[in-house]
Amino acid sequence: MDRAARISVRFLLVWALEALSLVVMTRIVPGIGWLTRDAWSAFANALTAALILALVNTLVRPLLLRLKLPITWLTSNGSTLVVNVLLLILIGRLLPLLAIENLTAAFLGGLVLSIVNGVLTGFVNIGRDDSFFQNLVERIAKRQRMTGASEPGRGIIMLEIDGLSCRRLQAAVAGGLMPTVREMLRTTHAVSSYDCGLPSQTSSSQAGILYGDNFDIPAFRWYDKERGKLLVSNNFDDAAEINTRYARGQGLLRGGSSINNLLAGDAEKSVLTLSTLNTANEQEHSRRAQDLMVFWLNPYLFTRSLVLSVGEVLLELGQALRQRLRDVQPRINRLERGYPIMRALTNVFLRDISTYLVALDVVRGVPAIYTTYLSYDEVAHHAGPDTADALNTLRSLDRQIRRIRNVIAAKAPRAYDLFVLSDHGQSAGATFRQRYGQSLAEFMAAHTASPASVAEAPGQMIGMSYAAALVAELQSAEQVVAGRVRRRVMRGSRRALQQRIKNELPAAMAAPVVVCASGNLANVYFNLHTGKVSLSEINTAQPHLVDELVMQAGIGLVIVYNDESTPLVLGKEGARDLVTGIVTGVDPLQPYTRPDLRAQQLRRVAQFPHAGDLIIISTLYPNEQVAAFEELVGSHGGLGGEQTTAFLVHPADMHMPETTNSTEVFAVLNARRGQLDEREASI
């Protein structure tokens, strides 16, 4: 009876909202009006028309899902609009309810009706976890069996908040921005800080978390002199190459799902994961397509996400204008490269899709699920990691955590441990260019024989990569649902993302000196020969360059190699041998917290085969600010500030050891997976 009562109340609410949407439509769309001037008669007409719309939408969408028709991304996304336009025409022609002047009016009416209805129903949570439509989706989703679901024991769900440091998480919880996480910490969970190591960026950290290995990832972008190839972590092909290094079938996500990540962790199914976009077989493409299709066919989620995306663009424009009017410093151009659109994609569409897909996999009983939420990291890069603009994104992420907890509690067929974590933090500060009037590459060029001798590896917003991944997945889904997988569609969809990088590669490879910046860390390569180039060789080729770098005010340390390939840290008043630990003069690592730990981390990176011939890290300024070598006022990749301080929210009965690298997190999470006990799920 309770279920029948809930369904009845929900139906009445949907009916009322449909009627309200029709009233709004007739008020703002020219050429559509009620066939009566009496208010009560008009209201009765609205209720009648709304009943027809509600019933048809309720019947049409489940039919589309059950039949798995060969529809395209456009028609699946526009199905509400198509159905509403046809129904408006039908109501106007056959029933004495609406007067519709022409087809244009019907189209505009259907568009407005879809938007208004989507907004109203979305914001009152119609169509969510316990609705008829959602239950139907879940029943269909369960038909897509995953072999890992039969694995015994507890499952693990990991929700990554990209770029959020432990201190900022705690501040957000204390400030009321994350009530769900606060409740978790008061009842079932604890939070532990962990050091992600170097480089403090996503490809290295996710490799460590998901595989327990991140050897020879010296930065987000680096140069392979042996192959004459620039590798960029968010390039689809390069991400696949990185993933292949570590994928041995023992990753954290074996038998599980990777959703909206950079690396796949040996997942049985990967959706919106950069490293597997071009490597999946037909069965994998089919799995992805069916999951994405149920999101686009949901009569509430897509329209709501679309409207919220428009709001996110306006929010970004307003926040950028406010920073400019208040002359907030440091500040960068937040309109460059279409960032407001990119923010809407990452902060709304990718966020909502990720949560939806996690919920579906929870219903399936998938043993391990990992997803990345990009919102905070994207805004923090452009606005600053401590700004209200960045921290307020955590409100919506907390709601995603709450929704997933609710799904686990109500619908999970197995016990789950829920983890919330970050891969690294961020550090604030004006950029190197803002402080000194030129980029690091320009400074180096000014101290070489020829300015043309130095080339800088191009950068690319990671959010743009995930947006391109969404396009690629949707284009591939069209082909799968239609019965054909065309790999040339995948190749074409990623050209827009990779074209700029490819265009710049020849210049970078031809230059005597290549600078690869990742936050306030830079790897510099000298094309004198393959392998490490020693300090004496650099001094012969480019006299005084290293001395000028060491003494530049914005550079905190420079790592070089002696003739025995031993890495040395050079500072303005001293040096440290990273192998013996011997310090001459003032230790260059003294300004950075825990200098002995930093020496250990720097030594490891310096001994990577593809680390730079020079490794440069910016000065650490007051208030732990850094100077990014990219044009970002929130950055990560190197040392200084909170960029190496990540967090793990975990069940309170679990011990989190002290770490020096993200690779140590793998063992902690992997040990939790599949435990056979009778405890209640830690959600």
Structure confidence at residue 678 (pLDDT): 54
Per-residue tokens: 575: 């040096």
Per-residue tokens: 682: 């830690």
Smallest CA-to-CA distance from 425 within 650, 273, 640 is with 640
Per-residue tokens: 121: 């129903």
- Spatial contact of 45 and 36, defined as CB atoms under 8 Å apart: yes
Can you count the helices (H) and strands (E) in the chain?
26, 21
Residues 6+ apart with CB under 8 A from 443: 436, 548, 549, 552
Structure confidence at residue 256 (pLDDT): 96
Q: What is the DSSP letter of 348?
A: I
Structure confidence at residue 4 (pLDDT): 61
Q: pLDDT (tens digit, 9 = 90+) per residue, 53-110? A: 766 655 555 555 454 444 333 344 445 556 667 777 776 666 677 777 777 787 777 7
Q: pLDDT (tens digit, 9 = 90+) per residue, 588-629? A: 999 998 999 999 999 999 999 999 999 999 999 999 999 999
Under-50 pLDDT residues of the chain: 1, 65, 67-78, 126-130, 132-133, 481-508, 679-680
Smallest CA-to-CA distance from 569 within 621, 615, 605 is with 615
Structure confidence at residue 493 (pLDDT): 37
Structure confidence at residue 482 (pLDDT): 47
Instruction: Give how far the C-alpha of residue 13 lies from the chain's centroid of Cα atoms, to the nearest Å.
Output: 35
How far the first Cα of the chain sits from its last, in Å, is 29
Structure confidence at residue 497 (pLDDT): 38
| 496 φψ region: left (φ > 0), alpha (ψ -120 to 50), beta (else) | alpha
Q: What is the pTM of this model?
A: 0.85
Smallest CA-to-CA distance from 65 within 172, 8, 139, 129 is with 139
SS (H, E, C) 566-627: CEEEECCCEEEECCCCCEEECCCCCCCCCHHHHHHHHHHHHCCCCCCCEEEEECCEHHHECC
Total number of residues shown for the chain: 683
